[in-house]
Amino acid sequence: MVFKNQGVKRQWIMKQVITQSLLTSNAKHDCISCSTGKFLALLMIFGLAYLMFTHKSAPHSVSQGQAEGIKVNTEVEGISDSSGRFKRFWRKPPRLPPQLPPDEKGSIDNHELQKLNTGSKWVDRQQRVKKAFIHAWSGYKMYAMGYDELMPLSQRGVDGLGGLGATVVDALDTALIMGAEEVVSEAGLWIEAHLSDRISKKGQVNLFETTIRVLGGLLSAYHLSGGEQGTNLTHKGPKPTVYLETARNLADRLLLAFTSSPTSIPFSDVVLHDSSAHRAPDGLSSTAEVSTVQLEFNYLSTVSGDPRYSIEAMKVLEHIKDLPKVEGLVPIYISPDSGEFSGENIRLGSRGDSYYEYLIKVWLQQGRNRDGNFTYLYDMYEEAMRGVRHLLVQKSIPNGLVFVGELPYGPKGSFSPKMDHLVHGAFSRYCC
């Protein structure tokens, strides 16, 4: 008999030895009649069963069972060490998120959805989230008010984003949405009293981080507090015009990243106090960073009536439109000096992720103009998503789990099965 698997061979030999011993040895046959013999016989049988179980070589697929809503068989557990075998054997399969049956999908109408949202369970959850937010704010206010971030263990503040009170501004729109009036008042009054002065005196800041956190936070606060309607919808905090004026003060300085560059690709950093802009140390800008400021600058132009912000920001996407791509995918670095992509690294992770996100978001932002001068944004997005599915999406072996990898050396180089936390969110937003 030929054995392709050594584990199977060992099992067969042990089985034959034990069976032969039990059936042919008179001494052992006599021993079985006593209680000790019976115990030893049972022990050998259980030992054989244990060895047969632990040497299974072909684990079952988990994904298929999950897709069909079936509990995963415990035999799928890969057992490699003796100390944790029984523990892993009895471990429960991972809990899957709730899913609607196929015949019920899409059957929940707006009325039923409203009932769900107003139910006591959901109201309770909302209050718990709000309570957690206020708890986090109170710790920040106590130990780090005015700093960019709170270091929770050392209980001190640090300025890791340029010293513009990023947490204050970034938290304000959340507080407005939640109706956390005390936080709105505290954050809004701090902005009114301190932020404009800091903008005029602080040093180097990153264009991307400052735009999405500080400029975006100010514009969100302006919108949510009723600035577009010319009213103050909140009972506490400064007038909405304070947020808009502060946003323009900041944006005027950030524009230098665009106007100082010899091409349509902005520099990565701006020095606020002397109104100058600079390249990154390696001379390159991040593709995601230069293409993830358009929503904020476009909106600022709309509410301020000043087209400069939108014009400079949109030059970036208009320029990238004409650059060579790989099935719509682009490298993660671009040179502000040449205006060309640098390197061949293609990924949906850091420095690449939000480029694709903003293509569709800016197209949606344009509203009535979408069918006019901005259709190229939708076309670029659609081509890129086809490229993602063709070049970056693969399935794991043997379970067939979908993941998004990288092409660190371009389409002709080797595929890297690396997927970081940013890719998970990017893939769900862009492709599904």
Mean pLDDT over 195-209 rounds to 95
Give the tens place of pLDDT for each residue, 74-132: 333 343 444 455 455 455 555 555 555 555 545 556 666 666 666 678 889 999 999 99
The answer to whether 416 touches 407, Cβ cutoff 8 Å, is yes
pLDDT of residue 310: 97
**Per the confidence metrics, is the pTM higher than 0.75?**
no
Residue 205 has pLDDT above 90, yes or no: yes
Mean pLDDT over 320-332 rounds to 97
Q: Please, what's the largest Cα pairwise distance for the chain?
A: 103
Residue 256 has pLDDT above 70, yes or no: yes
Tell me which of 420 and 183 has the higher pLDDT.
183
What is the percent of the chain with per-residue pLDDT over 70, rounded to a whole number? 70
Residue 73 has pLDDT above 90, yes or no: no
Say which range, 157-171, 252-266, 411-425, has the weakest mean pLDDT: 411-425
Residue 342 has pLDDT above 70, yes or no: yes
Q: Are strands 204-206 and 269-271 parallel, antiparallel or unpaired?
A: antiparallel
Mean pLDDT over 25-35 rounds to 51
Tell me which of 20 and 344 has the higher pLDDT.
344
Average of per-residue pLDDT values in the chain: 82
The answer to whether 62 touches 68, Cβ cutoff 8 Å, is no
pLDDT of residue 234: 62
Mean pLDDT over 4-9 rounds to 55
Question: Quick one: three-class SS letters along the chain?
Answer: CCCCCHHHHHHHHHHHHHHHHHHHCHHHHHHHCCHHHHHHHHHHHHHHHHHHHHCCCCCCCHHHHHHCCCCCCHHHCCCCCHHHHHHHHCCCCCCCCCCCCHHHCCCCCHHHHHHHHHCHHHHHHHHHHHHHHHHHHHHHHHHHCCCCEEECCCCEEECCCCCCCHHHHHHHHHHHHHCCHHHHHHHHHHHHHHHHHHHHHCCEEEHHHHHHHHHHHHHHHHHHCCHHHCCCCCCCCCCHHHHHHHHHHHHHHHCHHHHCCCCCCCCCEEECCCCEEECCCCCCEEHHHHCCCHHHHHHHHHHHCCCHHHHHHHHHHHHHHCCCCECCECCCEECCCCCCEECCCECCCCCCHHHHHHHHHHHHHCHHHHHCCCHHHHHHHHHHHHHHHHHHEEECCCCCCEEECEECCCCCCCCECCCCHHHHHHHHHHHC
The answer to whether 289 touches 207, Cβ cutoff 8 Å, is yes
pLDDT of residue 421: 78
pLDDT of residue 41: 72
Render the burial of 259-274: b for 16+ CB within 10 Å, e for the rest: ebbebbbbbbbbebee
Residue 29 has pLDDT above 90, yes or no: no
Distance CA 374, CA 323 (A): 17
Say which range, 2-11, 170-179, 342-351, 394-403, has the weakest mean pLDDT: 2-11
Distance CA 107, CA 96 (A): 22
Identify the band that residue 382 occupies on the pLDDT scale cut at 50, 70 and 90: very high
pLDDT of residue 67: 38
Say which range, 98-112, 126-140, 415-429, has the weakest mean pLDDT: 98-112
pLDDT of residue 134: 97
Distance CA 272, CA 227 (A): 26
The answer to whether 348 touches 416, Cβ cutoff 8 Å, is no
Give the tens place of pLDDT for each residue, 287-315: 999 999 999 999 999 999 999 999 999 99
Distant-in-sequence, close-in-space partners of 152: CB < 8 Å, separation ≥ 6: 139
Residue 280 has pLDDT above 70, yes or no: yes
The token pair at 313 is 């920001």
Mean pLDDT over 157-172 rounds to 95
